[in-house]
Amino acid sequence: MTLEQFFQDNPQGALAFSGGVDSAFLLWAGLRAGADLRPCFVKTPFQPQFELEDSRRLCAWLGVALTVIELDVLDDPAVSSNPPDRCYHCKRRLFSHLIDWAAGAELPLVLDGTNASDDAGDRPGMRALDELGVRSPLRECGLTKERIRALSREAGLFTWNKPSYACLATRIPAGRAITRADLELAETGEALLSGLGFRDFRLRLSPGGCRLQVAQGQLPLVLERRADILAALGPVFSEIVLDLKPRIPAD
């Protein structure tokens, strides 16, 4: 099945929109196929501000309105206590909320951007999507991340080479309760590092401060900008540690 065939059979739906590579391409493809897709950004404390800004920018470029739905997932102990299966509980809460919104808007389906490269065994959140009946057209049509990037580039989408991004909750070790203050701390630290030229990295919170993970190609940049990193992060974190094991991009 192709995406065109999918949208011929399913011409209306709400799309869980993050402003990332996958949901951006899915929105473009759905609109191009003539579908009535409503992109919805569910704003929780786990999403950084730049994701919302990217979502608004892309929707403006495509000429479609973005719906922003506020949801405080931290009021759910199954999420805020940060168990190993936190992602399952968070996704179930988030998509249940979106399904309710879609029903009120008389939209028959909720779609998401899971692709054929995503491993269900490594993503507990995908179990929640299956249970709730959320459709994943990219996965159903066999489109891998590599193919989606190539097609996005051909389409002129600025997201084509955007690094994969996991929510801010992943910066906090499993078992450590998630607080709004810690999420804001991680977002602040990553924004400062982005300003120094780092790309596709993670800043993990630790009991004594933070641990920086960068891709192999950016390890030399850490040494080159060591003084700048200390100047930027020093006022925020009492301890700054570099993980010598390079980060492998999750594509």
d(CA 8, CA 11): 6
Collapsing DSSP to helix, strand or coil, 19 comes out as coil
Query: What is the reported pLDDT for 249?
Result: 67
Q: What is the DSSP string of 40-67?
A: EEEE-TTS-HHHHHHHHHHHHHHT-PPE
Q: What is the pLDDT along the chain (251 residues), one digit of tens a residue?
A: 899 999 999 999 999 999 999 999 999 999 999 999 999 999 999 999 999 999 999 999 999 999 999 999 999 999 999 999 999 999 999 999 999 999 999 999 999 999 998 876 557 788 999 999 999 999 999 999 999 999 999 999 999 999 988 899 999 999 999 999 999 999 999 999 999 999 989 999 998 799 999 999 999 999 999 999 999 999 999 999 999 988 876 54
- Give the model confidence (pLDDT) of 76-85 as tens digits: 999 999 999 9
* Domain residue extents for the chain: 3-161, 179-241
Burial of 186 (0-12, 13-18, 19+ CB in 10 A): buried
d(CA 74, CA 63): 33
According to CATH, the topology of domain 3-161 is Rossmann fold (3.40.50)
Nearest CA among 82, 1, 45, 58 for reference residue 180: 45
Query: What is the reported pLDDT for 193?
Result: 95
- Give the model confidence (pLDDT) of 97-133 as tens digits: 999 999 999 999 999 999 998 876 557 788 999 999 9
Query: What is the reported pLDDT for 251?
Result: 42
